[in-house]
Amino acid sequence: MEDSLRFEILGRDPNTMARVGRLITPRGEVVTPAFLPVGTRGAVKSMAPWEVAGIGFQMILANTYHLYLRPGVEVVREAGGLHAFMGWEGPILTDSGGFQVFSLSPTLKVEDDGVRFRSVYDGSEHFLTPELAVRVQEELGSDIAMVLDHCVAYPASREEVERSVETTLRWAERSLRAHTVGGQALFGIVQGGAYPDLRARSAELTSSLDFPGYGIGGLSVGEPREVMLRCLEVQSAILPEDRPRHLLGIGDPEGLLEAVSLGMDLFDCVLPTRMARTGVAFTRQGKLNLRHARHARDHRPLEEGCPCPACTCFSRAYLRHLHRVNEMLAHRMLTWHNLAFMHRLLLDCRRAIGAGRMLELIREWEGWSGRQPS
Amino acid sequence: MEDSLRFEILGRDPNTMARVGRLITPRGEVVTPAFLPVGTRGAVKSMAPWEVAGIGFQMILANTYHLYLRPGVEVVREAGGLHAFMGWEGPILTDSGGFQVFSLSPTLKVEDDGVRFRSVYDGSEHFLTPELAVRVQEELGSDIAMVLDHCVAYPASREEVERSVETTLRWAERSLRAHTVGGQALFGIVQGGAYPDLRARSAELTSSLDFPGYGIGGLSVGEPREVMLRCLEVQSAILPEDRPRHLLGIGDPEGLLEAVSLGMDLFDCVLPTRMARTGVAFTRQGKLNLRHARHARDHRPLEEGCPCPACTCFSRAYLRHLHRVNEMLAHRMLTWHNLAFMHRLLLDCRRAIGAGRMLELIREWEGWSGRQPS
> Which distant-in-sequence residues (6+ apart) come within 8 Å of A275 by Cβ?
A282, A287, A338
SS3 category, B7: strand
Q: With beta carbons under 8 A apart, name residues in chain B contacting A49.
A: 313
d(CA A76, CA A78): 5
CA nearest neighbour of A251 among A224, A236, A270: A270
pLDDT digits (tens, 9 = 90+) for B207-252: 999 999 999 999 999 999 999 999 999 999 999 999 999 999 999 9
Q: What angle do CA B358, B360, B363 make, to 5 degrees?
A: 115
Chain A residues touching B78 at Cβ < 8 A: 297, 299, 317
* Nearest residue to A86 (alpha-carbon basis) of B284, B278, B325, B276: B325
In the DSSP assignment, the letter for residue B218 is S
What residues of chain B lie within 8 A of the CB of A86, using their CB? 318
Supply the pTM of this predicted model. 0.97
Inter-CA distances, A102 with A49, A96, A106, A205, A218, Å = 29, 11, 8, 23, 11
Confidence grade of residue A2 (pLDDT, cut at 50, 70, 90): very low
Split at pLDDT 50, 70, 90, the class of A268 is very high
Q: Interior CA angle at A96 toward A255 and A102, to 5°?
A: 75
With CA atoms as reference, report the closest residue to A103 among A48, A150, A70: A150
Contact B41 A322 (CB under 8 A): yes
Identify the closest residue of chain A to B318 by CA–CA distance. Answer: A85
The arithmetic mean of pLDDT across residues A307-332, rounded, is 98
Give the CA distances from residue B361 to residues A358, B14, B36, B201, B249, in Å, rounded to whole numbers and listed in that order. Answer: 67, 14, 21, 31, 22
Cα distance from A195 to chain B (closest Cα, Å)? 38
Question: pLDDT per residue over A75-91, tens digit each?
Answer: 999 999 999 999 999 99
Nearest-CA distance B114 → chain A (Å)? 27
> Which ipTM was obtained for this model?
0.97
Residues near A87 by Cβ (< 8 Å), separated by ≥ 6?
A48, A49, A50, B313, B314, B318
Q: What percentage of chain B exceeds 70 in pLDDT?
A: 99
Distance from the first to the final alpha carbon of chain A: 51
8 Å CB contact of B325 and A297? no
Q: Tens digit of pLDDT for each residue in B53-94? A: 999 999 999 999 999 999 999 999 999 999 999 999 999 999
**d(C-alpha A50, C-alpha A107), whole Å:** 36
Residue A195 vs residues A192, A228, B87: alpha-carbon distances, Å: 6, 9, 53
Residues B181 and A283: their CA atoms lie apart, in Å, by: 40
Phi, psi (degrees; rounded to nearest 5) at A192: 130, 5
* Site from A82, A329, A331 to mutate, B interface, most B CB atoms within 10 angstroms: A329
Residues of B with CB under 8 A from a CB of A: 41-43, 45-50, 66, 70-71, 74-75, 78-79, 85-87, 296-297, 299, 309, 313-315, 317-318, 320-322, 324-325, 327-329, 331-333
The mean pLDDT value for B262-267 works out to 98
Give domain limits for chain B.
2-269, 282-370
As a whole number of angstroms, the distance between CA B221 and CA B239 comes to 21
Instruction: Check A41 against B321: CB less than 8 A apart.
Output: yes
Instruction: Give the pLDDT score at A295.
Output: 98
How many pairs of residues across A and B have Cβ atoms under 8 Å apart?
115
- Determine if residue B97 is left, alpha or beta; phi over 0 gives left, psi from -120 to 50 gives alpha, anything else beta: left
Quick one: average pLDDT of A256-264? 98
**A46–B87 CB contact, under 8 Å:** no
Residues with Cβ within 8 Å of residue B29, at least 6 apart in sequence:
B22, B23, B58
Would the pLDDT of A178 be above 80? yes
Q: How many CB atoms within 10 Å of residue A273?
A: 24
- Residue B121: CA count within 13 A, CB half-sphere: 13
User: Which residue, A279, A255, A222, is CA-closest to A342?
Assistant: A255
Pairwise pLDDT comparison (A364 vs B107), residue with the higher score: A364
Contact by Cβ (8 Å): A75, A51: no
User: Considering only alpha carbons, which residue of chain B is nearest residue A75?
Assistant: B297
Separation in Å, CA of B303 to nearest CA in chain A: 17
Q: What 3-state DSSP class applies to B150?
A: coil
Question: What is the average pLDDT across B350-369?
Answer: 98
Q: Are B324 and A296 an interchain contact pair (Cβ–Cβ within 8 Å)? A: no
Contacts of B82 in chain A (CB under 8 A): none
Choose from B100, B323, B324, B325 for mutation: most chain A CBs within 10 A: B325
> pLDDT tens-digit profile of B338-357?
999 999 999 999 999 999 99
CATH T-level fold of B2-269 = TIM Barrel (3.20.20)
pLDDT at A3: 64
| Cβ-based interface (< 8 Å): residues of A facing B | 41-43, 45-50, 66, 70-71, 74-75, 78-79, 85-87, 296-297, 299, 309, 313-315, 317-318, 320-322, 324-325, 327-329, 331-333
Average pLDDT over residues A210-233: 96
Which amino acid, A234? V
Are B315 and A79 within 8 A, CB to CB?
A: yes
The minimum CA-CA distance between A84 and chain B, rounded to whole Å, is 8
Query: Which residues of A are designated catalytic?
Result: 95, 268
Q: How far is A45 from chain B (nearest CA, A)?
A: 7
- According to the model, what pLDDT value does residue A25 have? 97
Q: What backbone phi and psi angles, to 5 degrees, belong to A107?
A: -80, 125
Interface test with A, best of B321, B327, B333, B334 (most A CBs within 10 A): B321
Q: Strand pairing partners for A61?
A: A38, A93
Name the residue facing A75 among B296, B327, B328 (closest C-beta).
B296
Distance from CA of B56 to the nearest CA of A (A): 19
Contact by Cβ (8 Å): A5, A144: yes
Is the pLDDT confidence value at B6 over 90?
Answer: yes
pLDDT tens column, B270-295: 999 999 999 999 999 999 999 999 99
Q: Chain B: nearest CA to A328, how far in angstroms?
A: 5
**What is the per-residue pLDDT across B147-160, written as a single tens digit (0 to 9) for each?**
999 999 999 999 99
Phi, psi of B124 (to 5 degrees): -65, 150
The answer to whether the CB atoms of B329 and A43 lie below 8 A apart is yes
Question: B313 and A50: CB-CB below 8 Å?
Answer: yes
Cβ of A314 within 8 Å of Cβ of B47? The answer is: no
Nearest to A41 among B66, B86, B327 (CB): B327
CB contact under 8 A, B313 and A48: yes
DSSP strand pairing (A286-289 vs A266-268): unpaired
Is the confidence at residue A358, as pLDDT, over 70? yes
Q: Is B297 close to A321, i.e. CB distance below 8 A?
A: no
- Active site residue ranges of B: 95, 268
Q: What was the pLDDT predicted at B105?
A: 79
- Half-sphere CA count of B15, side-chain side, radius 13 A: 12
Nearest chain B residue to A317 by CA distance is B75
Strands B280-283 and B266-268: unpaired
Rounded distance, CA A203 to CA A196, Å? Answer: 10
pLDDT at A1: 42
User: Is there a contact between A277 and A248 (Cβ–Cβ < 8 Å)?
Assistant: no
For A321, the closest of B46, B49, B71 (CB atoms) is: B71
Burial class (CB within 10 angstroms; exposed 0-12, middle 13-18, buried 19+) of B222: exposed
Q: What is the tens place of the pLDDT at every residue in A97-110?
A: 999 999 887 777 99
Average pLDDT, chain B: 96
Are the beta carbons of A328 and B331 separated by less than 8 Å?
A: yes
Q: Is the pLDDT of residue B7 over 50?
A: yes
**pLDDT at position B5:** 95
Q: What share of chain A is helix, strand, coil (3-state, %, to 5)?
A: 45, 20, 40
DSSP A79: T
Residue B181 in this model has a pLDDT that exceeds 70:
yes
| CB contact (8 A) between residue A327 and residue B47 | no
